[in-house]
Structures are given as C-alpha cells and as structure tokens.
Amino acid sequence: MSDDDALLRLTRDLGDRDRGALGGKAVGLAALLRAGAAIPDTWVVPVGADPSAAALAGLAAVAPRWAVRSSATVEDGTGLSYAGLFRSELGVPADGLAEAIAAVRASAHSGRVAAYRERTAGRSPAAVEMAVLLQPFRPPVRSGLWLGRGPGRGRLEWTGGSGETLVSGAVTPAWEEWTTEGRTAGSERGAWESGGQPVGRTCANLQEALGVPADLEFAQLDETLVWLQFRPMTAALGEAPDERDGRRADRRAGRCADRRADPGADRRADPGADEGEQVVHGIAASGGLATARGLRLRDVDDPCWEPGAVLLTDRTDPDWVPLMAEAAALVTATGGMLCHAAIVARELGVPCVTGVGEAALARLGSGRPLAVDGSAGTVAVL
C-alpha cells in the first residue's frame, strides 16, 4: 500500500462496499455528509495501512490536537453496534498519533470484545479488522446522543462538556422525548436549543434524511452542532416516558445535586427513601424481567462476583462487558438510556435500569433478591 493510500480524506462517496477497508464508523460519517450534516474534517487510516511519519507529522499543520477513533469493520452495523467496545483517544498531540493509532488497533482484540462476540455468537461477523479515524479535536460546550424510536420519534440525552461522560454513563443526563408533533416530555423545563433551533427537532429531521431510526452522537462547538457518529438502531428502546416521569427525573436530578453538597439532603427531601423502601425507580434502559440476588461491585475484578446475579455498580465502562454478559440484569447509579452500557445491554438481551442514584444503589446492595423490570425502569427488593 502506498503512502497516498495509507492516509485518506473521508468523503461523502463512501458506502457499505468500503466497510471492509475503512470500517463502519467511516461509512456512517459518509452517510451523514450525504444527509447534509456537518462533521469534523476526517482522515482515515485503512485496515492494514501504515502511514509514514512524514504523513502524520503533516497533520500538525491542520490542528495541534486530535481525536483518534476506532472504525472497526464490525462496528456500527445494522445488527450489532459494538458500542464503546473499541478504544478512542481524545486530545492527542500531533506527535503522539502513531502511538494512539496502535492503541486503537490493539483494542480490537480485547477481552471485552471477545465476551461480546461470544454472547452474540451467530450474529457477529467472523473477523474483526480495524481502520482508524483522525479528526481535529476541540473540547465541546455540550454533548448529545439521539436514539430513534421510529419515523419522526426519538429520545435526546445530553450533558455539558465532553461526550465521554455521557456515553460512558458517568453522568445521569438531561433528556427529551420527541415526535413529529414536537417535544413531548423532558427532564428540563425548556428544550435544548443550538443556533436558535431545538436540537431535538434537528435530530428528528436528520433521522428522516438518513431514512432509518438512527443512533447519533454529536457535539455543540460554540453555537454549531458537529455530528460525530451515525449507526442504524440495533435494538428497540422501551416505551417513552410520560410527563410524570419527566417530573420525577427532574426531582431526582435535583436531589443528586443536593446530596453532593449535603449527604443528608436526599433523605430529608424524600422521606420515603429509607432502608425499608421496596421499589427503586430509574431509567428503563433495556427491557426484560429478571429475579436474582443483587451484588454491588465497585471494581470489575471484584472476586465476589457471581454469574447469574444482578450486577449493581455506580457505572460501567467497556471492561465490564464480560460481567454484563454473565449477569441476570444490570443496575447503575448513573447513566441514561443512550449510554454505551445501555446499548450493549439491549444487544445482549440483559435487563438494565440506569440512573437510580447512589443512595438507592446502596439500599439494593443488601444482598437480598431483587426483581428488575428493565421495561418499567424499576427494581424491587423481595
């Protein structure tokens, strides 16, 4: 492969025929360009390519820091997303690009990918190859995710700053539900707007242009939305919450902020939140029912883990996938419906409730049996 072929500019002309060389994320970005969306300038290191030091050094004139993202051949497909399982590196200096490319490539052979492929046997392609995307990096003002429920319908979640906290489930995000009639529910009083337009409506319109229920990741830079990823929906979301659920989520978000300032605030604000409370409410992240003993883990290597238990943890990252594949259900203190843990749980068929809060998670971790309803977003102590 020549130096000219080892570092390519991404264009709108890519299609699924290019997946084997440039990976699924590159194909999704090209689809966004064809739909009229703005994406970062993107260079692609194809599968098996080895760009020269001179070629990589030339990118220093474009930007001082870079996002180095996976674009695996199996990633962002119509059946499986491999969401969050491959490595990405953000804010990489130009002289560190070669090392970051190698790290992203190595993630194709991680234990979490192997566990995911074992659980999805029969649906996963035979081999995993890795192309790599290079994009100039700017810290975002706000980051968002959209998952389509169907034509004209979807859920928007967002947080301030980097999208890594959002997709990793490190925060419980603000959210909105949208239909063709407009915003139908949300955790905030008003809709998120960018450039004078509701972001939810922008997402719904882009989904219509793409022609399929869409999983979208994007960032707000100043007042401009920049689209970072598109993949078709691989698993259906649960039923959309109503306005009552939105008010409940808003109260819970307020209690979390109060609790950080005053550890006793949660109990004073919610007299029912005591040791005897039998039902915990969170976000319905992955449908299904499971009854099993709850085990709270703070570390993925905790020797107390028992396959078949309900996995209770503050949050997950991709290294938790082997445990998720063994769990009867997953319950997290933070996170939303669109974080990587929720997407992977839906694809693995594992019931999942996110965003229950730290105090509730502690009550659930008593070791008693739990009944998890991932469709309703509830966890009952039996």
Give the CA radius of gyration of the chain. 21
Residue-level pLDDT at 180: 83
Query: What DSSP element (H or E) covers 135?
Result: strand 130-136
Domain boundary among 95, 114, 136: 136
Distance CA 130, CA 72 (A): 4
Residue-level pLDDT at 277: 62
Pair (9, 86) in one structural domain: yes
CATH number of residue 28's parent domain? 3.30.1490.20
Which parts of the chain have pLDDT scores under 70? 1-4, 122, 124-126, 241-277
Pair (86, 196) in one structural domain: no
Domain boundary among 203, 232, 261: 232
Pair (123, 151) in one structural domain: no
CATH number of residue 225's parent domain? 3.30.470.20
Domain boundary among 232, 252, 282: 232
Looking at the domain assignment, is residue 122 inside a domain? yes
- What SS3 class is residue 369? strand
Residue-level pLDDT at 2: 53
Scored b (16 or more CB within 10 A) or e, 177-194 reads bbbeeebbbbbeeebbeb
Residue ranges making up the domain that contains 202: 142-232
Residue-level pLDDT at 3: 57
To the nearest whole percent, how much of the chain has pLDDT over 70? 88
Pair (146, 132) in one structural domain: no
pLDDT tens sequence across 172-226: 899 999 998 899 999 999 999 998 999 999 999 999 999 999 999 999 998 899 9
Q: Which DSSP string do the residues of 138-166 spell out, in sequence order? A: ---SEEEEEEEEETTEEEEEEEES-HHHH
Number of domains in the chain: 3
Residue-level pLDDT at 271: 29
Residue-level pLDDT at 338: 82
Distance CA 345, CA 327 (A): 10
Distance CA 234, CA 310 (A): 24
pTM: 0.81
Pair (119, 150) in one structural domain: no
